[in-house]
Amino acid sequence: MAVPTAKKIREYLGESYQESDEELIKLYIETHAFYRRLQKEMKKKDLMYEYTNKAGATNLVKNPLSIELTKTVQTLNNLLKSLGLTPAQRNKLKEGLGSGDDDDDFDAF
């Protein structure tokens, strides 16, 4: 897995980069480091484990790290959205640039 750096993210942003993006970039890098730590810990543990409650009943429960891992992935995705770097946003930008041959005035309507 490639480790993101501020330089790489700025390169991805290209001309759309603004100085105000720095805080989001920093937050993305820190969150990604946390994600990698969680992932490493999850590899050492089982996804489900037995838990005995106060009444003495034993149940299988999800490893709390897996829940945190999912939340962290969502946070990373939201940060990418904020920076305009999701695959869908990049495709939309490419489509918007187009070839310039669209002279049908539909958009002006």
| R_g of the chain computed on alpha carbons | 21
Stated as kind and residue range, the H or E segment containing 32 is: helix 22-44
DSSP 100: S
pLDDT, tens digit (0-9, with 9 covering 90-100), for 49-89: 899 999 999 999 999 999 999 999 999 999 999 999 888 88
Whole-model pTM?
0.74
What does the alpha-carbon distance between residue 46 and residue 62 come to, in Å, rounded to a whole number? Answer: 9
Cβ atoms of 16 and 90 within 8 Å: the answer is no
97 strand-pairing partners: none
The tokens for 28 are 């993305």
Q: How confident is the model at residue 106 (pLDDT cuts 50, 70, 90)?
A: very low
